[in-house]
Chains A and B, each alone.
Chain A
Amino acid sequence: MAQGRQTDAAMSRPDDATAWSTLMARVQDGDAVAYRRLLEDVTPYLRSLVTRHRGLSGETEDVVQDILLTLHAVRHTYDPDRPFGPWLVAIARRRIVDRLRRRGRIAAAETSLEPEHETIAATAANIHMTIDRRRELQEAIRALPAGQRQALLLLKLRGLSLKEAALESGMSIAALKVASHRALKALREMLGKRT
């Protein structure tokens, strides 16, 4: 009803719509020539429908093909007594909405790759910390309990293996594991709170 009026208004060339109706009826009877003409005729129209949605830039052809495939799959649902335009536009709208939704879902779950995520081989290039943050980190490490601080220094900063760190510190491997885990957690909390 309301949608019908809207879609009629959206049809750019109403005279085409009647021709499309006839073509579609022939398609249902298996006329491949009519089908090719219809699909080639509606494709630019569909493209213009899709490009109106800015969220789909770069995917226009994908969405147009999606709509053509859907049209193919449901071609038996077209009633030749009814106008073709609203039928086509309704299918196109559904596909566009589906695509926009999927885009939204993907965008919500992903973080785009920014230049600062680039990792460069030189160590210095990967240090983004300002002097301020570095001081904060040093203070946080200093604030850790002695056992945790030692485990962190040996395992994470000097990069020793668990066995080597156990020999050097006299702590058991299990205790080292626990201490370094707790140290990282504590650091994360301390630094997280201040940001």
Chain B
Amino acid sequence: MVSTPDLIDELCTGLKPVRRLRPPLLRTALWLLLAATIVALLAAFRGTRTDLLLLLQAPAFAAAFAGSLLTGALSAVAAFQLSLPDRPRLWLLLSAPPLVLWLSTIGYGCLTDWVSLGPDGVRLGSTLECFATLLLVSLPAAAALALMLRSTAWIDPTPVAISGGLAVGGIAASAMTLLHDLDATVMVLVWTLGATALIAALGGLLGRRIFRPL
């Protein structure tokens, strides 16, 4: 084993200046901008859902959309904060309020019977398309996030990966809500929440593999 003074010698030899990390909020903003660009590109190519403006006036839909969007954005803030060594794990709770709002809209939607099931009930027709949108948004967004967090997150990977997963999931869910004519809000919610939960769980499980020491 190398002795500690020898290790210090080694570390000091050839020390190079390092570029300080930009403030976490700025880095969050950069990532959100990238995510917004991806969603905007998708919207430009395939158009938003036709009844979007009408739906946004409905409180349950608007609450669900705001919930997913805020969950995504605030989780991104938390992920960038948590990737720094001296930030407390309490940051994990930042996205809890919008997440609760988002979850509560499921119950609300069902209770008020706002969801119109139509003569055929809830259809699964657009499932595949939905899945494509989910992948098109979440894969590049997740890759960019992992790349941006890579140099620091390995110190304590699990909380970073969970918030990162929630961030990607929240953004992807918002994109699906904007772009897809799902037949019922319940479908949107089940799809988007399910996808978000899956991505966050994957992040939590694979965190230690994604963020390895450099």
Binding site for B on A (CB under 8 A): 1-4, 27-32, 35-36, 39-40, 43, 61-62, 64-65, 68-70, 72-80, 82, 86-87, 90-91, 94
Contacts and interface: CB of A to CB of B under 8 A. Distances in A.
A1 B90 CA distance: 8
B10 to A, nearest CB: 9
Interface stretch (B80-88, B131-139, B164-172): B80-88
A27 B15 contact: yes
Contact of A94 (B2, B7, B23, B155): B155
Chain A interface helix/strand/loop/mixed:
helix
B85 A87 contact: yes
B46 interface: no
A68 B19 contact: no
Given A74-B151, A74-B152, A77-B152, A29 B17 contact: yes
B86 A68 contact: no
Interface residues on B, range: 20 to 34
27 contacts: A3-B88, A4-B88, A29-B17, A30-B15, A30-B17, A31-B15, A32-B12, A32-B13, A32-B15, A35-B11, A36-B12, A39-B12, A61-B4, A62-B1, A68-B8, A68-B11, A74-B151, A74-B155, A75-B18, A76-B18, A76-B20, A77-B85, A77-B152, A79-B84, A87-B86, A90-B86, A94-B155
Interface string B74-116: 0000000000111011100000000000000000000000000
A72 B155 contact: no
Given A1-B88, A30-B16, A74-B151, 4 more contacts: A27-B15, A65-B4, A73-B213, A76-B18
B54 interface: no
B214 A35 contact: no
Max chain A C-beta neighbours (<10 A), residue from B15, B20, B156: B15
A70 B213 CA distance: 9
A42 to B, nearest CB: 10
A160 B15 CA distance: 69
Contacts of A2: 88, 90
Contacts of B152: 74, 77
